[in-house]
C-alpha cells in the first residue's frame, strides 16, 4: 500500500504515474473497453458479430455507474472501516437532483402542457414551483447540486455521528435508519418529488434527445470518464498520507487518536468525498435508466452495494469496480434466465463472501499481489540510494 | 508517613504533570479516588499497584480518553487536560503506549513511524503531504534506535510481540513528546527483550519525562527511579523502590500477596 | 299524532296483557294482511303496529319483509312467506306457519318496501328485541332505536326503563328515551332533563345528535329555546372534553399496543445483539418463521381437528419458539460462529441469510399473504364506555409481550443457563476454564433469541399480514428499539419500545403516520449521536477495547 518514501514530484504529477500496477492495468482496460464499445456501436455494422447494440451500451453505462458507487463505498469501508448502509441514499439523491433537471427540461411537452410545472405537480393541483425546484433548469447549477446535496447531507450526518464517536455497527444501523427515513419521506406526495412514481418521462439532456442512440452513447462515455476520474481521485486519496491514515484508523482507531490525528475529521472528510462520488454515480445513472423513484432509497439497495465491494475485494479500488460489474452482470443474466434463483444466489453471495472470500476476488488470487511485492522490492533499493545520498 | 512525601512534592510551578484530587467512577465503582501526584520535568516515574488500582484509568484521564468526575489535571502547569480530546493532548506532547501493543498492522514499519511524525495532522495537509529528506532521516534514526531498521519494509502485523512493543515506543518517539506514558512495556517479553527495553527506556528518559506503569518488580528495579504505589484509586506510598517496598501497608496490599 | 300515540300505548298494554292471546292472533293476521297496502307511509304505520304487538311471530314477519321474502299470492291476495326451492317457491302462512304448497314465481308478487318502511322495520325489530331475554340484545335494540330516532318507540321505552333491572341495559334505554324526548318532546322541562341524561351518557353519537338538535333549534325558534340551546351547548362541550380524554386514552392505548409489538419484535434481538453482540439481520425472518408456523398449525388444525381450531394459536406459541429456535441454532452453528468478533461481516452474512429465508418461504408458500384468523376468544372489543373500547387481540398482545419479557428475564437471571450465558459473554476464556462449554452456550443463546422472535411472530400474525416480507417491516424498528434502550439491558428494551411506540402514536394525529415515523427515526439518530450507547448503557472502562 505504501508509496515511495521521498518524492520530489508534486502531488498531481504523480497522479497518473504514481498509480500502482493494478491501477494502470485498470485504466488501460477501462479505456480499451470504452473504445471497443464506441467503435462497436458506431462504426461496425449491425449484422457484424462485433456490433454493440445501443441497449447494451446503456446497460454497460449503468454498470459503470454502479462501479462508481461501489468505489465510493470501498473508499470508506475498505480503507477506513466505516460500513455505511446509506450510500444508496447518496446515490439516489444525486439521481433525484439530475431528475429535477431533466423534469425541468421537459417544459411544456408534458401531458398537461404546463410550461412551468412538472406533470405530477399539475396533477396535485400545485399552483407554483416550490422554492427548492428553482435553478434546476440550469445544467451548471444542477451539476453543482449533484455534488453539494449528497455532500452536505453526508457532512451534517457525519459531523454529528463521528464527533460523538458512533462507530462500527452502530454507525451502520443509523445510516440504514437514515436511508429508511428518506425512503419514507420521498414516498410522500407533498415532498414535491413525485411521490411513489418519482421522476420520469424525461425528454432531453442539454438539448440532446435522451432516446437517441447518440445521446445514449454520450452518456456511456460520460460514465466512463466519471469512473476514470473517480478512480484517479480515489487512487490519489488512498496513495496519499491521508489514505494511509484512513487505514490506520481502520486497524487501530485509538492508536491513531493517541498519535495526534483528529480521527473524526478524517472520517468526515472521506465520508463526504465518498458521498459526492455516490451522488455523481446516481446522477449519471438516472438519464440512462430514464426514471428515479423512492425505491432507490430502500435499505436493501444500499446493503447490496456493500456485497459488490466484498465480492470484488475491499480495500482494493479495482476490486470494487470488478465486483460491481460482475455481480450486476450476474443479476441481469439470472433475473432473466432463472428469476427464482437470483435471490438465493444473492443471499448466498453475502454468506459466501464473508465466510470464504473475506478479501474478495482481487485479494484472494495472488497474481495481483505479485505486482505489489515487486514494487515493494524495488522501493527497498530506492531507500538505500536515498540513504547513501544523505550520507 | 509516606503521604508526607507526596505533599512535599506538590510544587506546581515546576511540574510537567500535575494531578490533584482526581476521581472517576463507573457505575458506582470508584476507579480513581482523590488521586493526586506530580511528575517533575525530566523525571522518570514508575507506577505500580495491584489489579484494579486505577493505573489504566489514570492513563485514560491524562490522555483525554476518560473525563474525570472531579479534580484537576494540568500539563506543564498551564494546560488543563480535562477539557481536551486525545488528539489535542497527543499533539501537545503527551505520548501513550498501550498495555497491548497497538501498531498499524497493515502498514510497513516505516509507514508506522512516518504516520507518527510530529507535523500538522489535519486531513487536508495529509492529503497533499510529501515526506521531506530531513523527516526521512529522522525516521531512519528512530528505526535504528528501536533496532528495526532491517525490518523497515515488513508489515507491522508480521513483527514479533516484543518488536511491536518497540515499534510502538518508536512511534511515540516520532511524536517527540515531552511526556511519555508507558503501560506495561515488558508484558509478555522474553528476558532478553526485557533487558533491552529497560535500556531503551533509560535512554529515552535522558531527554523526556517518562511515566511507566508496570507489574514486573525486577523491571521496575532496573529502571532505578522514583516509585508511586496506587491502591484503590489513590496513592498509597511514594519514594524509592526500597522505601515503598518496606512500607507495611504496601506489603499488605500488594507485595505481600 | 295523538291518535298514533294512544294506539301505541294500547299496543304496549297488549304486550303485557297475557289474557288477550286470541285477540292478538286475529290482530296479527289482520295486520299482516294490511301489509299489502300500496302507500308506503301507511305500510310503515302497519309495520309499527305489528311491532307493537310484541309477538315473537311479528319479528319473523318483519325480518321476512326486510329480506324480501313476503309475497302477495296473486290468486287470493293473501300475504305469504315464500322460500325459494329450486325454481318454485314453498309458501308458508307467516302467522301460524301452516304450509300452503308450492307455486311458481309468476303466481307471486313481492311486498315492496322503501327506505321509510325499512327504517320502520328496523325500529320495529329493535322494539321487539327490547323485550328479549338476552341483555346484549336489549342493549343493541336500544342503540338501534337511538339511531333510528323513531318517535313511536318512546312510550315503549319509557315503560321498559321503569321495569328494567339490568344495570348495563338501563343506561342504554335511558339514553334512547332521552334522545327521543329531546327530538320530539314539546315539554321544555322534559327536554331539559333529556339533555342532562344525554350529557351523562356521552359518546360521539350523542354529540352528533346534540349538534343536530342545536342546529334545528337555531334555525326554527332561536328566541324561545335559548335556555335549552345553552344547556345543549354546555352538554356538547362536556362531551367534547370527555371525548378528548378518551382520545388521549385511546392514543395511549394505541401507543402501548405499538410498543408491545415493537417489544416483541425487539426482545429476541436484545438477546442476540444485546447479550451476545451479534448483529442478526435475519432476526425479522425468525419472526416471519414464527408467523408461518402459526399458519401451518392453523391449517393442520383445520384439516385434522376443526373443533380445536380456536386454540391452534395457543399450540403455535411453543411450536413457533421451537421452530424459530432451531433455525437460530442452525444459523449460529453454520454461519455466525465463524464470524465472532467481526460484527460488520456478521451483519452482511445474516443479511444474506435473510434474503435466502425470504425466498425460501416465497418458494414454498407463494408470495401472497396468508390468512391467520383471529380465534373467537380474541375477537371483539372491551367496551369501557361509549366511545372508548380496546380490542381483545391488542390487549392480548400487550399482555403476551410482558409475559415474554418476564419469562426472558427469569431465564437470564434465575436459571443455570442464564448464568452460563452471562459468564460466557463477560469473559469467554474464564468461562471456558470453569468448564462451561461456551460454543454450546453460544448456540443456545442464539436459539433462545431466535425462539423468542418466533413467539413474536405468533402475536404479529394476529395484526399483520403473514407474508415473506413480514420480517423486513420490523427489522429496522427493532434495532432502533434495542439501540435506543441501550444494549445488554432488557429493561432498556422495554423502555425503548415503550417510548418509541407512544411517541409514534402521539405524533401521528399532528403529522400523519409517515411523518411521525420519520420524526421518530430522526430523533433516534440524533439521540444515538448524543448517547452512542443508548439510554441504559453500561458505563465502563473497557467499552471501546
User: How would you write chain B as a 3-class SS string?
Assistant: CHHHHHHHHCCHHHCCEEEEEEEEEECCEEEEEEEEEEECCCCEEEEECCCCCCHHHHHHHHCCCCCCCEEEEEECCCEEHHHCCHHHHHHHCEEEECCCCCCCCCCEHHHHHHHHCCCCCCHHHHHCCCCCHHHHHHHHHHHHHCCCHHHCCCEHHHCCHHHHHHHHHHHHHHCCCCEEEEECCCCCCCHHHHHHHHHHHHHHHCCCEEEEECCCHHHHHHHCCEEEEEECCEEEEEECHHHHHCCHHHHHHHHCC
C112 and C179: one domain? no
What's the rounded Cα separation, in Å, for the pair C266 and C485? 10
Q: Which residues of chain B does C545 touch, with a Cβ-Cβ cutoff of 8 Å?
A: none
State the nearest Cα–Cα gap between C248 and chain A, in angstroms: 26
Q: What CATH number does residue B150 fall under?
A: 3.40.50.300
Chain C hits for A187, Cβ within 8 Å: 514
Find, among B123, A175, B111, A13, the residue nearest to C528 by Cα: A175
User: Do C496 and C484 contact (CB within 8 A), yes or no?
Assistant: yes
C196-212 pLDDT, tens digit each: 888 888 888 888 888 88
Give the distance from residue A150's alpha carbon to the nearest chain B alpha carbon, in angstroms.
20
Of the candidates A132, A186, A144, which has an alpha carbon nearest to the alpha carbon of residue A301? Answer: A186
Interface of C with A in 116-145 (CB under 8 A): none
- Please list every residue in chain C whose beta carbon sits closer than 8 Å to the beta carbon of residue B27: 538-540
> Would residue C239 count as lying in a domain?
no
Contact A172 C530 (CB under 8 A): no
CA torsion sign for C6, C9, C15, C16 is negative
Residue B183's region, left for phi above 0, alpha for psi from -120 to 50, else beta, is beta
Average pLDDT (A81-106) is 94
Q: Do C347 and A172 touch (CB under 8 A)?
A: yes
- Note the maximum CA span of chain B: 59
Put simply, the answer to whether A241 touches B129 (Cβ < 8 Å) is yes
- Cβ of B86 within 8 Å of Cβ of A241? The answer is no
pLDDT value of position C537: 58
Q: Which of A63-67, A115-119, A141-145, C118-122 has the lowest mean pLDDT?
A: C118-122
Asked if C31 has any chain A CB less than 8 Å from its own CB, the reply is no
CB contact under 8 A, A242 and B130: no
How far does the CA of residue A234 sit from the closest CA of chain B (Å)? 11
Our CA-based measurement puts residue B7 at a distance from the nearest CA of chain A, in whole angstroms, of 31
**Contact B59/C at CB under 8 A:** no
Kindly report which listed range (A374-383, B135-144, C60-69, C86-95) carries the lowest average pLDDT score: A374-383
Residues from chain C contacting residue B60 (CB–CB below 8 Å): 541
Range of the domain at B81: 2-255
Range with the lowest mean pLDDT among B10-24, B117-131, C304-318?
B10-24
Beta-carbon count within 10 A of B216 CB: 16
Neighbours of chain B (3+ CB pairs under 8 A): A, C
Calculate helix-pair angle for C472-485, C343-365, nearest 10 degrees: 150
Across B210-238, average pLDDT: 85
Strands B209-213 and B44-48: parallel
Q: Which residue from C500, C499, C520 is spatially nearest to C511, judged by alpha carbons?
A: C520
> Cβ separation of A245 and B126 shorter than 8 Å?
yes
Instruction: Say which residue the cell 515493494 belongs to.
Output: A376
| Number of structural domains in chain C | 3
Q: Give the pLDDT of residue B6.
A: 41
Is residue A156 less than 8 Å (CB to CB) from chain C? no
In-domain check, residue C408: yes
Give me the residues of chain C with pLDDT under 50, please.
12-25, 539-545
pLDDT at residue A382, as a whole number: 46
Query: Which residue, chain included where needed, has cell 453460544?
Result: C442
pLDDT of residue C18: 41
Phi and psi, residue B20, nearest 5°: -135, 120
C-alpha cell at C107: 303466481
| pLDDT value, residue C123 | 77
CB-based contact, B28 to chain C, within 8 Å:
no
Q: Are C107 and C254 in the same domain? A: no
**Interface residue C303 vs chain A (CB under 8 A):** no
pLDDT surpassing 80 at residue A48: yes
Q: Contact at 8 Å (CB) between B211 and B225?
A: no
Cβ within 8 Å, pair A83-C344: yes
Could you tell me the three cell numbers for A212? 437517441
**Is residue C329 a contact partner of residue C337, using CB atoms and an 8 Å limit?**
no
Domains in chain B: how many in total? 1
Say how far apart CA A253 and CA B98 lie, in whole Å. Answer: 13
**Above 70 in pLDDT, residue B5?**
no
C384 within domain boundaries: no
Shortest Cα distance from B28 to chain C (angstroms)?
A: 10
Q: Residues C74, C75, C81, C82: what is their CA dihedral angle, to the nearest 10 degrees?
A: -80
Residue B7 has pLDDT above 80, yes or no: no
CB under 8 Å to A248, separation ≥6 — which residues?
A255, A256, A259, A261, B104, B107, B115
Q: What is the pLDDT of residue C387?
A: 67
Chain A residues near residue C522 by CB distance under 8 angstroms: 181
Predicted pLDDT at A90: 97
User: What CA–CA distances, in Å, run from A333 to A297, A301, A328, A342, A351?
Assistant: 24, 18, 8, 9, 21
Provide the grid cell at B161: 510481540
Give me the DSSP letters along A213-258: HHHHHHHHHHHHHHHHHHHHHHHHHHHSHHHHHHHHHHH-HHHHHH
Q: Please answer yes or no on whether A169 and C363 come within 8 Å at the CB atom.
A: no
Q: Which domain holds residue C77?
A: 2-129
User: C224, C259, C276 — which closes off a domain?
Assistant: C224
**Adjacent-strand bridge partners of C390:** C382
* Alpha-carbon distances, residue B169 vs A252, B39, C188 (angstroms): 16, 20, 99
User: Is residue A219 within 8 Å of residue A284, measured between CB atoms?
Assistant: yes
**Same domain as C445, residue C409:** yes
Q: Searching chain A, which residue's CA lies closest to the CA of residue B134?
A: A390
Chain A contacts of B91, Cβ < 8 Å? 260
Closest chain C residue to B28, measured at CA: C539
The reply to whether the predicted model has a pTM over 0.95 is no
Q: Does B57 lie at the interface with C, CB-CB under 8 angstroms?
A: yes
- Check pLDDT > 90 for residue A100: yes
Please indicate whether, in this complex, the C-beta atoms of B110 and A241 are within 8 angstroms of each other. no
Say whether both C101 and C142 belong to one domain. Answer: no
Residue A229 or residue C51, greater confidence: A229
Q: Exposure of C296 by Cβ count < 10 A (0-12 exposed, 13-18 middle, 19+ buried)?
A: middle
Report the alpha-carbon distance of residue B147 to residue C156 in Å, rounded: 109
Give percent of chain A with pLDDT exceeding 90: 51
What pLDDT shows up at residue C3?
53
- The string of pLDDT tens digits covering residues B59-99 is 889 988 888 888 889 998 888 888 888 888 988 889 888 88
The set of residues, in sequence order, having a beta carbon less than 8 Å from that of C471 and lying 6+ positions away, is C282, C283, C284, C285, C286, C287, C288, C354, C358
Nearest CA in chain A to B141: A387
Nearest CA in chain B to C538: B27
Q: Say if the Cβ atoms of A173 and C345 lie within 8 Å.
A: no
Give the cell for residue C236.
Answer: 356538547
Query: Among partner residues B108, B127, B137, which is closest to A2 by beta-carbon distance?
Result: B108
Tens of pLDDT, residue by residue over B168-210, are 889 988 888 889 898 888 877 888 888 888 888 888 888 889 9
pLDDT of residue A273: 96
Distance CA A319, CA A325 (A): 10
C-alpha cell of residue C238: 362536556
Q: Which residues of chain A lie closer than 8 angstroms to B115, CB-CB? A: 241, 244-245, 248, 256, 259
Closest Cα in chain B, distance from residue C333 (Å): 30
pLDDT computed for residue C2 by the predictor = 55
Cell of C336: 455466525
pLDDT exceeds 80 at position A373? no
C366: contact with A, CB 8 A cutoff: no
Residue C45: φ, ψ to 5° = -65, -40
Task: For residue C128, list its beta bridge partners.
Answer: none
Which of C129, C160, C184 is at the close of a domain? C129
pLDDT at A304 over 90: yes
B chain contacts of residue C539, beta-carbon cutoff 8 Å: 26-27
Q: Are B169 and B112 in contact (CB under 8 A)?
A: no
B55: closest chain C residue by CA:
C541
CA distance A58 to A63: 9
Q: Who among C349, C363, C521 is closest to A350 (CB)? A: C349
pLDDT average, residue stretch A11-34: 71
The answer to whether A360 and A354 have CB atoms below 8 angstroms apart is no
Q: Is C510 exposed, middle or buried (0-12, 13-18, 19+ CB in 10 A)?
A: exposed
Yes or no, beta carbons of B107 and A1 under 8 Å apart:
yes
- At residue A80, the pLDDT reads 93
Structural element, H or E, at residue C109: strand C108-110
CB–CB of B31 and C539 under 8 A? Answer: no
Residue B146 pLDDT > 90: no
| Chain A nearest CA to C343, separation (Å) | 7
pLDDT, residue A179, reads: 92
Contact in structure between C467 and C477 (CB atoms under 8 Å)? no
Cα distance between residue A209 and residue A189, in whole Å: 28
Q: What is the pLDDT of residues A154-211, one digit of tens each?
A: 999 999 889 888 888 888 988 998 999 999 999 988 888 988 899 988 988 988 888 8
C152 with C65, same domain: the answer is no
DSSP states of C246-261: HHHHHHHHHHHHHHHH
Question: Is residue C125 domain-shared with residue C77, that is, in the same domain?
Answer: yes
Residue with grid cell 433516534, as numbered in its chain:
C524
Amino acid at each position: 500500500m505504501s508509496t515511495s518514501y521521498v518524492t520530489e514530484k508534486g502531488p498531481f504529477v504523480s497522479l497518473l504515474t504514481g498509480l500502482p500496477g493494478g491501477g494502470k492495468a485498470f485504466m488501460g482496460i477501462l479505456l480499451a473497453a470504452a473504445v471497443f464499445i464506441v467503435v462497436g456501436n458506431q462504426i461496425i455494422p449491425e449484422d457484424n458479430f462485433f456490433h454493440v447494440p445501443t441497449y447494451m451500451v446503456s446497460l454497460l453505462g449503468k454498470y459503470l455507474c454502479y462501479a462508481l458507487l461501489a468505489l465510493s463505498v470501498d473508499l470508506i469501508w475498505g480503507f477506513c472501516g466505516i460500513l455505511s448502509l446509506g450510500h444508496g441514499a447518496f446515490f439516489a439523491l444525486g439521481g433525484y437532483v439530475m431528475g429535477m433537471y431533466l423534469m425541468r427540461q421537459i417544459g411544456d411537452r408534458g401531458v398537461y402542457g404546463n410550461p412551468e410545472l412538472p406533470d405530477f405537480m399539475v396533477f396535485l393541483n400545485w399552483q407554483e414551483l416550490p422554492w427548492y425546484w428553482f435553478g434546476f433548469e440550469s445544467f451548471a447549477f444542477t451539476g453543482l447540486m449533484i455534488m453539494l446535496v449528497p455532500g452536505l447531507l453526508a457532512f451534517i450526518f457525519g459531523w454529528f455521528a463521528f464527533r460523538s464517536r458512533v462507530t462500527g455497527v452502530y454507525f451502520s444501523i443509523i445510516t440504514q435508519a437514515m436511508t429508511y427515513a428518506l425512503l419514507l419521506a420521498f414516498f410522500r406526495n407533498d415532498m414535491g418529488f413525485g411521490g411513489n412514481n418519482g421522476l420520469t418521462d424525461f425528454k432531453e439532456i442539454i438539448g440532446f434527445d435522451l432516446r437517441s442512440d447518440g445521446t445514449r452513447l454520450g452518456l456511456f462515455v460520460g460514465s466512463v470518464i466519471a469512473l476514470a476520474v473517480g478512480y484517479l481521485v480515489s487512487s490519489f486519496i488512498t496513495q496519499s498520507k491521508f489514505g494511509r491514515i484512513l487505514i490506520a484508523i481502520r486497524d487501530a482507531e485509538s492508536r491513531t487518536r493517541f498519535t495526534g490525528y483528529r480521527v473524526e475529521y478524517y472520517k468526515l472528510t472521506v465520508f463526504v468525498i465518498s458521498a459526492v462520488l455516490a451522488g455523481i454515480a446516481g446522477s449519471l445513472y438516472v438519464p440512462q435508466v430514464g426514471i428515479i423513484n423512492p425505491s432507490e432509497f430502500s435499505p436493501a439497495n444500499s446493503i447490496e452495494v456493500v456485497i459488490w465491494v466484498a465480492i470484488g475485494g475491499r480495500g482494493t479500488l479495482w476490486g470494487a469496480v470488478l465486483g460491481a460489474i460482475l455481480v450486476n452482470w450476474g443479476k441481469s443474466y439470472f433475473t432473466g434466465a432463472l428469476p427464482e434463483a437470483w435471490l438465493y444466489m444473492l443471499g448466498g453471495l453475502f454468506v459466501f463472501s464473508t465466510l470464504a472470500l473475506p478479501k474478495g476476488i482481487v485479494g484472494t488470487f495472488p497474481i495481483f499481489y505479485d505486482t505489489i511485492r515487486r514494487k515493494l522490492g524495488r522501493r527497498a533499493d530506492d531507500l538505500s540510494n536515498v540513504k547513501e545520498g544523505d550520507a | 508517613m509516606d503521604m508526607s512525601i507526596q505533599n512535599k512534592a506538590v510544587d506546581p510551578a515546576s511540574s510537567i504533570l500535575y494531578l490533584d484530587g482526581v476521581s472517576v467512577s463507573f457505575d458506582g465503582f470508584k476507579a480513581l479516588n482523590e488521586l493526586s501526584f506530580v511528575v517533575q520535568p525530566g523525571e522518570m516515574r514508575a507506577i505500580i499497584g495491584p489489579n484494579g488500582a486505577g493505573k489504566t484509568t489514570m492513563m485514560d484521564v491524562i490522555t483525554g480518553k476518560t473525563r474525570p468526575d472531579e479534580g484537576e489535571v494540568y500539563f506543564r502547569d498551564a494546560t488543563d487536560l480535562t477539557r481536551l480530546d486525545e488528539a489535542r493532548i497527543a499533539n501537545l506532547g503527551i505520548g501513550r503506549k498501550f498495555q497491548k501493543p497497538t501498531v498499524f498492522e497493515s502498514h510497513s514499519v516505516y509507514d508506522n513511524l512516518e504516520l507518527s511524525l510530529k507535523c500538522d495532522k489535519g486531513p487536508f495537509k495529509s492529503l497533499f503531504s510529501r515526506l521531506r529528506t530531513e523527516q526521512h532521516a529522522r525516521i531512519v534514526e528512530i528505526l535504528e534506535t528501536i533496532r528495526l531498521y532491517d525490518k523497515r519494509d515488513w508489515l507491522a502485523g508480521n513483527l514479533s510481540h516484543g518488536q511491536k512493543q518497540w515499534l510502538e515506543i518508536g512511534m511515540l518517539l516520532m511524536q517527540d513528546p515531552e511526556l511519555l506514558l508507558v503501560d506495561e512495556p515488558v508484558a509478555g517479553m522474553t528476558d532478553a527483550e526485557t533487558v533491552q527495553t529497560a535500556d531503551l527506556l533509560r535512554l529515552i528518559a535522558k531527554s523526556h519525562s517518562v511515566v511507566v506503569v508496570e507489574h514486573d518488580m525486577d523491571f521496575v528495579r532496573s529502571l532505578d527511579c522514583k516509585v508511586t504505589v496506587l491502591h484503590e484509586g489513590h496513592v498509597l506510598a511514594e519514594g524509592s523502590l526500597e522505601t515503598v517496598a518496606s512500607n507495611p501497608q504496601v506489603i499488605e496490599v500488594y507485595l505481600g500477596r | 299524532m295523538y291518535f298514533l300515540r294512544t294506539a301505541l300505548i294500547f299496543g304496549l298494554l297488549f304486550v303485557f296483557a297475557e289474557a288477550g292471546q286470541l285477540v292478538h292472533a286475529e290482530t296479527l293476521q289482520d295486520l299482516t294482511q294490511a301489509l299489502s297496502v300500496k302507500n308506503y307511509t301507511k305500510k310503515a304505520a302497519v309495520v309499527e303496529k305489528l311491532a307493537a304487538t310484541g309477538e315473537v311471530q311479528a319479528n319473523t314477519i318483519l325480518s321476512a319483509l326486510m329480506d324480501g321474502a313476503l309475497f302477495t299470492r296473486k290468486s287470493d291476495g293473501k300475504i305469504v312467506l315464500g322460500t325459494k326451492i329450486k325454481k318454485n317457491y314453498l309458501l308458508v302462512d307467516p302467522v301460524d306457519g301452516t304450509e300452503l304448497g308450492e307455486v311458481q314465481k309468476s303466481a307471486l308478487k313481492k311486498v315492496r318496501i322503501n327506505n321509510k318502511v325499512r327504517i320502520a322495520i328496523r325500529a320495529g325489530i329493535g322494539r321487539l328485541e327490547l323485550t328479549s331475554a338476552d341483555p346484549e340484545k336489549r342493549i343493541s335494540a336500544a342503540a338501534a332505536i337511538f339511531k333510528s330516532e323513531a318517535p313511536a318507540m318512546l312510550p315503549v321505552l319509557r315503560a321498559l326503563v321503569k321495569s328494567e333491572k339490568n344495570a348495563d341495559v338501563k343506561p342504554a334505554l335511558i339514553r334512547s328515551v332521552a334522545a327521543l324526548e329531546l327530538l320530539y318532546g314539546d315539554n321544555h322541562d322534559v327536554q331539559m332533563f333529556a339533555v342532562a341524561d344525554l350529557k351523562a351518557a356521552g359518546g360521539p353519537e350523542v354529540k352528533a345528535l346534540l349538534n343536530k338538535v342545536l342546529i334545528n333549534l337555531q334555525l326554527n325558534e332561536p328566541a324561545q329555546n335559548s335556555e335549552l340551546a345553552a344547556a345543549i351547548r354546555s352538554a356538547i362541550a362536556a362531551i367534547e372534553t370527555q371525548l378528548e380524554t378518551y382520545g388521549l386514552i385511546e392514543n395511549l392505548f394505541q401507543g402501548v399496543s405499538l410498543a408491545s409489538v415493537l417489544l416483541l419484535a425487539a426482545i429476541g434481538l436484545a438477546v442476540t445483539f444485546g447479550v451476545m453482540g451479534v448483529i442478526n439481520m435475519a432476526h425479522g425472518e425468525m419472526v416471519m418463521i414464527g408467523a408461518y408456523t402459526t399458519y401451518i398449525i392453523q391449517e393442520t388444525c383445520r384439516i385434522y381437528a376443526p373443533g380445536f381450531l380456536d386454540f391452534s394459536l395457543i399450540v403455535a406459541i411453543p411450536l413457533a419458539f421451537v421452530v424459530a429456535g432451531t433455525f437460530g441454532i442452525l444459523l449460529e452453528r453454520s454461519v455466525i460462529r465463524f464470524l465472532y468478533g467481526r460484527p460488520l461481516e456478521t451483519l452482511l452474512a445474516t443479511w444474506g441469510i435473510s434474503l435466502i429465508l425470504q425466498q425460501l418461504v416465497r418458494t414454498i408458500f407463494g408470495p401472497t399473504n396468508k390468512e391467520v384468523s383471529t380465534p373467537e376468544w380474541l375477537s371483539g372489543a372491551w367496551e369501557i364506555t361509549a366511545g372508548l373500547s380496546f380490542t381483545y387481540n391488542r390487549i392480548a398482545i400487550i399482555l403476551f409481550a410482558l409475559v415474554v419479557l418476564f419469562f426472558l428475564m427469569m431465564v437470564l437471571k434465575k436459571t443455570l443457563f442464564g448464568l452460563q450465558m452471562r459468564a460466557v459473554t463477560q469473559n469467554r476464556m474464564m468461562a471456558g476454564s470453569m468448564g462451561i462449554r461456551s460454543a454450546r452456550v453460544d448456540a443456545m443463546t442464539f436459539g433462545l433469541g431466535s425462539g423468542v422472535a418466533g413467539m413474536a411472530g405468533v402475536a404479529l400474525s394476529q395484526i399483520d399480514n403473514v407474508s415473506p416480507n413480514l420480517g423486513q417491516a420490523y427489522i429496522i424498528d427493532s434495532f432502533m428499539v434495542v439501540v435506543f434502550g441501550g444494549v445488554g439491558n432488557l429493561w432498556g428494551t422495554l423502555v425503548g419500545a415503550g417510548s418509541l411506540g407512544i411517541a409514534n402514536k402521539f405524533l401521528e394525529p399532528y403529522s400523519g403516520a409517515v411523518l411521525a415515523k420519520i420524526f421518530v427515526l430522526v430523533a433516534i439518530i440524533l439521540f444515538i449521536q448524543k448517547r452512542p450507547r443508548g439510554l441504559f448503557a453500561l458505563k465502563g472502562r473497557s467499552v471501546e477495547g
